[in-house]
Amino acid sequence: MGIEEQLPSGVMLSTVEGLAGYARKGSLWPVTFGLACCAIEMMSTGGPRFDIARFGMEVFRPSPRQADLMIVAGRVSQKMAPVLRQIYDQMPAPKWVIAMGVCASSGGMFNNYAIVQGVDHVVPVDIYLPGCPPRPEMLLDSILQLHQKIQDTKLGANRQREIAANEEIALNAIPTSQMKGLLR
């Protein structure tokens, strides 16, 4: 929105946050983007049986400039990583990312040099969705979880405080390279 950065904190800001969150969560547009087998489940989520249109999301946008949600559906190869990042950079803020499936979340069974071991090495992830592949019901559930997160998103001075707190947590976290996986 732009003007949100100038908003002072207080009761008024809480009201604006609530309204902005409600509008944003009801108008998420995912970017058309599928990397592997998980994308088949993502596509069926858009079909009549699961009907993602119930949540105002029936329009999968072919241009990242018209989208604010990236569903990373499938494993991310090293070759695809810069392309994925470019698409993310072209999306207007605020934007959100769901890592769909174990491959996008952590590399999954592909513990090798060709696959990025978690898409959070490339873009910030809001929701990690487990499963191989996750069923459409699971994707819908993760979208509802994201709705809650969007509803609770802060603006203005409150947002700055939230960013500082998140950065502090990230700096104190164990680096992914030092975490022990199943195959290490």
Which residues in this chain contact ligand SF4 in the complex, by CB under 6 A? 36-38, 74-75, 101-103, 108, 132-133
Judged on CB neighbours under 10 Å (0-12, 13-18, 19+), 101 is buried
Cβ proximity to ligand SF4, 36 vs 69, nearer residue: 36
Give the nearest distance from C-beta 39 to ligand SF4 in angstroms: 8
State residue 117 phi and psi, 5-degree precision: -85, 60
Long-range contacts (CB closer than 8 Å, 24 or more residues apart) made by 42-51: 42/71, 42/73, 42/100, 42/136, 42/139, 44/136, 45/136, 45/139, 45/140, 49/136, 50/136, 50/137, 50/140
CB of 110 to ligand SF4, least distance (A): 8
Residue of 49, 62, 57 whose CA lies nearest to 98: 57
Judged by beta carbon, residue 70 or residue 103, the one nearer ligand SF4 is 103
Question: Whole-number minimum distance, CB 125 to ligand SF4, in Å?
Answer: 15
Alpha carbon distance 60, 168 (integer Å): 35
Q: Which is nearer to ligand SF4, 37 or 81 (CB)?
A: 37
Instruction: Give min distance, CB of 109 to ligand SF4, in A.
Output: 7
Copy the structure tokens of residue 140.
């819908």
Contact 60, 97 (CB under 8 A): no
Compare residues 106 and 158 and give the one whose CB is closer to ligand SF4. 106
CB of 181 to ligand SF4, least distance (A): 15
Q: Between 21 and 46, name the residue whose CB sits nearer to ligand SF4.
A: 46
- CB of 46 or CB of 108, closer to ligand SF4: 108
Task: Tell me the closest approach of the beta carbon of residue 180 to ligand SF4, in angstroms.
Answer: 20
Answer for the pair 75, 35: CB distance below 8 angstroms, yes or no. yes
